[in-house]
Amino acid sequence: MQIFKLTIVLCLLSITVNAQKAKVSWVSTTNENAWVKKKYKPIKSKKASDISISIDVTKQEQKIDGFGGCFNELGWDALGMVTPEEKQQILNDLFSQEKGCKFNICRMPIGANDYAVDWYSHNETEGDFAMTNFSIDRDKKRLIPYIKGAQKINSEIEIWASPWCPPSWMKHSKHYACKSNPEFNDLPIEWSNTEELVSRFITEPKYFEAYALYFSKFIKAYEKEGIDISAVHVQNEPNSAQNFPSCVWKPQDLGIFIADYLGPKFKEDNLETDIWLGTIERPQIERVDDVLQYKNTRDIVKGVGFQWAGKGAIEAVHAKYPEMQLMQTETECGDGSNDWKAAEYTFNLMKHYFENGANSYMYWNMVLDETGKSQWGWKQNSMISIDSKTKAIKYNPEFYLMKHLSAFVAPGSVKLATSGDTKNAIVFYNHDANEVVILTYNDQDIQQELKLDIANKVVKASLEPKSFNTMVVNLN
């Protein structure tokens, strides 16, 4: 009799639980059909699901700060090819907090990068240690209008900045490049050197002091333009000798610059801009350690930014420096393919970075012309392409992939640890809305059934072949 009563209780409990229907919103993207808003209808099949994921909202990991891309000169030039109305629509699609990607953290270069129109710095007057001739006039033509266009849509957008190269006269070679390439630069062959861990910057006190002043003047000049620089990453890819603007640093020298010059200068000038160690593009944690363990550098540096092969270091850095903020600073840009395969690759990058502690994720070029080429020859992907001949605008698969996260994972959300078939899923929890956001990829050529167990709710849905899917499950 006792067993019979217990069975009845369990059955009633099961009915009660299943009766609590989940409130689900769902967007799906395939290569053929992008951003399709689907109506969720629970699947009642009792067969085992192809993908089954258990989600516990108490298993919370890192906080998510947001998503964005990089403001580059060639991107603004590409936007100049379309009508003002089309340009505004593109900016809305990137920055609108209602219907766009909701980008809230974006990068910009300090001086020229490989997607500048040509080489420049903010002071090319050799020996001007007082930075008398410092100027951001060049940026008023492209970068500042680009940023202000975004600010008009989202006034709260954060801008962080990084140099690819200091003023050329601060390097031993007196040239912006580190690797000679007669097709794209005029660096004398005797100065072409791809050796790593050897500083190309002139590591003398007066150069360090002048460079710290250069950073400070940059931040103050942008503040006058109504643009607050939230953070600086001290050197883009400090291990990479490129034929475009670049500067290799010995890690210990970066530590000296940060601890003895840049940090004190920011304090002296009462700057609220954070200092980050970025952007790290090598997998060896030792190269991070050699910077952070010099004097009080660890106390000055707010976070560490990673890109490219730097993905191999983020797990170890997260474990050793759990207090550090972490950022994926430049999604790997492919070769200009702008295809579905590139989106698949980027999804796996997203999965890797968020599984290893990243608080934010940056795309690279948001907009380019159809060639995707820099002035130094490298053809790369962009979220949006504009044909220079026909003026046709194309939203590439990676645009939708970025939006599948950025439009739903609100700043302040947390990454959730999950169990089950999680190979192709990333899960977040938004405290304020009490909702779970799941991005999952069906990498098969056939439909697959997805089952989500969240608290006392079960969500079952059929995922189209080769599709990205964002599901938002409201727990109220």
Exposure letters 415-430 (e unless 16+ CB within 10 A, then b): bbebeebbebbbbbbb
Q: Report how far residue 178's alpha carbon sits from residue 166's, in angstroms, rounded to the nearest whole number.
A: 12
Q: Report how far residue 398's alpha carbon sits from residue 383's, in angstroms, rounded to the nearest whole number.
A: 6
- pLDDT tens-digit profile of 104-129? 999 999 999 999 999 999 999 999 99
Sheet of 367-369: strands edge to edge? Answer: 367-369, 384-386, 393-395
Backbone angles phi, psi at 166, to 5 degrees: -75, 175
Residue ranges of domains in the chain: 23-62+416-474, 65-408
Q: Report how far residue 29's alpha carbon sits from residue 401's, in angstroms, rounded to the nearest whole number.
A: 8
Rg over CA atoms, the chain: 24
Q: Contact 406/363 with Cβ under 8 angstroms?
A: no
**What are the beta bridge partners of residue 107?**
70, 160
Which residue ranges of the chain lie beneath pLDDT 70?
Answer: 1-20
CA–CA distances in Å: residue 441 to residues 43, 127, 181, 331, 410? 19, 55, 41, 18, 20
Q: Report how far residue 104's alpha carbon sits from residue 107's, in angstroms, rounded to the nearest whole number.
A: 10
Angle, helices 143-153 vs 84-95, to 10°: value is: 60
Q: Report how far residue 417's alpha carbon sits from residue 427's, in angstroms, rounded to the nearest whole number.
A: 8
Q: Report how far residue 375's alpha carbon sits from residue 116's, in angstroms, rounded to the nearest whole number.
A: 7
Global pTM value? 0.95
Q: Contact 349/332 with Cβ under 8 angstroms?
A: yes
Strand, coil or helix: 351: helix
CA–CA distances in Å: residue 260 to residues 266, 268, 303? 11, 12, 18
Handedness of CA 316, 317, 321, 325 (dihedral sign): negative
- At the fourth CATH level, which superfamily is domain 23-62+416-474? Golgi alpha-mannosidase II (2.60.40.1180)
pLDDT at 7: 39
Specify the CATH number of the domain 65-408: 3.20.20.80
pLDDT at 20: 55
pLDDT at 213: 99
Question: Does 23-62+416-474 match 65-408 in CATH topology?
Answer: no
